[in-house]
Amino acid sequence: MQSLHRIAVLAGDGIGPEVTAEAVKVLKAIEEVSGPAFRFQYGLIGGCAVDQTASPLPAETIAICNNASAVLLGAVGGPQWDNKRPELRPEQGLLQIRQRLGLYVNLRPAKVIDSLANMSALKPDRVRGTDILIVRELMGGIYFGNPRGIFAKNGERLGVNTEIYREHEVERVAHRAFQLARLRRNKVTSVDKANVLESSRLWREVVTRLGRSYPDVELKHLYVDNCAMQLIDKPTSFDVVLTTNMFGDILSDEAAMLTGSIGLLPSASLGEHSALYEPIHGSAPDIAGRNRANPLAAIASAALMLRYSLHMEDAASAIEQAIERILKRGVRTAELPGKARPSSTTRMGDLVAQTAEKILKSMRPKKK
């Protein structure tokens, strides 16, 4: 009998509970074929946690995550918490869980699905075939450097943030990027601002040195402003994009728009012993509770969980194939154009669950 994997489910705020429920639904459909595989444990994070516990990341949630094989997260935040003190903002829960679990690398795939190529902001012929994996450093850089804050000096206020990268922080994320490139098309583009920033000069030196250990992987360096242009001009030329915390935050959203909708894209945040999976979209409070949110990014995040944490490649592939088949059939949620009567959140989840189950069954060897 296969062991049960503990999955921490942190639904969060806004549409988080709705889309996460559909991801869990699809995982339960996988169990119908594979047998019992998951034990779900639920915890609070973000604004709902602030309301119930006065903390965006309660101790009980940390304990659940520490005992889990992986964490599945929905979304955090909403306007009702905008006036909270900085330490009580819902987003602090997300930053804290990354630190607590040691999640130092964020993977954001941006793949253009043929049936949705006409949704891109660019011409379909330019984006068709785009398949990018952005590897973003997640625990260093300007988001975490000190000193930081708003200070008074010489009669006026100044805001201070500090960009810091240590050599080992660059090494560990670069190793991940090169290893992932070996599973794809053997190309890494490292993005920095080495012509201006000392932290970027260290970044480029370390990545260049490590690249010599991966002679089968082609390494290219780009300044971030040039990379932003190239993503629009030649998106199909990219394979793995390796970059810093802040640059990765910005470039991954740009890459997402090549696909036509940020509501389709998953992410994985990985450490040495823990991992967290979440859609890259926000909590969309304006449509929360209306059964119209797109759950595909949350479902695709569950597929990444199966691949990277649980090593269930067939199941991950079945989910991803199911998503592509359903979109090819013209099924759309409300934010995707092309359907007079859009699918609801729950209906989309049902379709993916049913289709993934059929695909996974077809992968299994037939009994003689």
Contacts 24+ apart (CB under 8 A), 269-273: 269/98, 269/103, 269/105, 269/106, 269/107, 269/138, 270/103, 270/104, 270/105, 270/106, 270/107, 270/176, 270/308, 271/101, 271/102, 271/103, 271/104, 271/105, 272/102, 273/101, 273/102
Residue 308 annotated among the catalytic residues of the structure: no
Per mean pLDDT, which range of 53-57, 162-166, 256-260, 336-340 is the poorest? 336-340
How far apart are alpha carbons 364 and 160 in whole angstroms?
57
* Active-site pick, 225, 234, 339, 361: 225
* Active-site pick, 193, 214, 239, 277: 193
Enter the tokens of residue 330.
């013209």
Is 110 within 8 Å of 252 (Cβ atoms)?
A: yes
For residue 261, pLDDT beyond 90: no
The answer for residues whose C-beta is within 8 angstroms of residue 171's C-beta and 6 or more apart is 206, 210
How far apart are alpha carbons 284 and 226 in whole angstroms?
31
- pLDDT tier, 367 (very low <50, low <70, confident <90, very high otherwise): low
How far apart are alpha carbons 340 and 23 in whole angstroms?
25
Closest among 221, 258, 226, 257 to 241, alpha carbons compared: 221
Is 163 within 8 Å of 145 (Cβ atoms)?
A: yes
How far apart are alpha carbons 336 and 2 in whole angstroms?
39
Q: What is the pLDDT of residues 182-193, one digit of tens each?
A: 999 999 999 999
φ and ψ of 140, to 5 deg: -125, -160
Exposure string of 174-186, with b = 16+ CB inside 10 Å and e = fewer, is bebbbebbeeeee
For residue 2, pLDDT beyond 80: no
Sketch the domain layout of the chain as residue ranges: 1-104+271-368, 108-136+168-264
Question: What pLDDT is recorded for position 257?
Answer: 87
Per mean pLDDT, which range of 63-67, 245-249, 251-255 is the poorest? 251-255
Which class for 166: exposed (0-12), middle (13-18), buried (19 or more C-beta within 10 A)?
exposed
Q: What is the pLDDT of residues 301-332, one digit of tens each?
A: 999 999 999 999 999 999 999 999 999 999 99
Q: What is the pLDDT of residues 19-53, one digit of tens each?
A: 999 999 999 999 999 888 999 999 999 999 999 99
* Active-site pick, 131, 253, 314, 350: 253
Question: What pLDDT is recorded for position 260?
Answer: 81
- pLDDT tier, 225 (very low <50, low <70, confident <90, very high otherwise): very high
- pLDDT tier, 340 (very low <50, low <70, confident <90, very high otherwise): low
Question: What pLDDT is recorded for position 341?
Answer: 81
For residue 10, pLDDT beyond 80: yes
* Active-site pick, 143, 223, 314, 358: 143
- pLDDT averaged over every residue in the chain: 94
* Active-site pick, 192, 239, 249, 277: 249
The residue with greater pLDDT, 177 or 85, is 177
Q: Do domains 1-104+271-368 and 108-136+168-264 have the same CATH topology?
A: yes
At the fourth CATH level, the homologous superfamily of domain 108-136+168-264 is: Isopropylmalate Dehydrogenase (3.40.718.10)
The residue with greater pLDDT, 117 or 60, is 60
Question: What pLDDT is recorded for position 91?
Answer: 92
Q: What is the pLDDT of residues 107-145, one digit of tens each?
A: 999 999 988 888 888 999 999 999 999 999 999 999 989
CB atoms within 10 A of CB 231: 25
Question: What pLDDT is recorded for position 339?
Answer: 60
Residue 193 annotated among the catalytic residues of the structure: yes
Proportion of the chain above pLDDT 70, given as a percent: 97
At the fourth CATH level, the homologous superfamily of domain 1-104+271-368 is: Isopropylmalate Dehydrogenase (3.40.718.10)
- pLDDT tier, 334 (very low <50, low <70, confident <90, very high otherwise): confident
For residue 1, pLDDT beyond 60: no
Is 41 within 8 Å of 4 (Cβ atoms)?
A: no
Cis amide bond preceding 147, omega within 30? yes
For residue 74, pLDDT beyond 60: yes
Q: What is the pLDDT of residues 183-224, one digit of tens each?
A: 999 999 999 999 999 999 999 999 999 999 999 999 999 999
Residue 253 annotated among the catalytic residues of the structure: yes
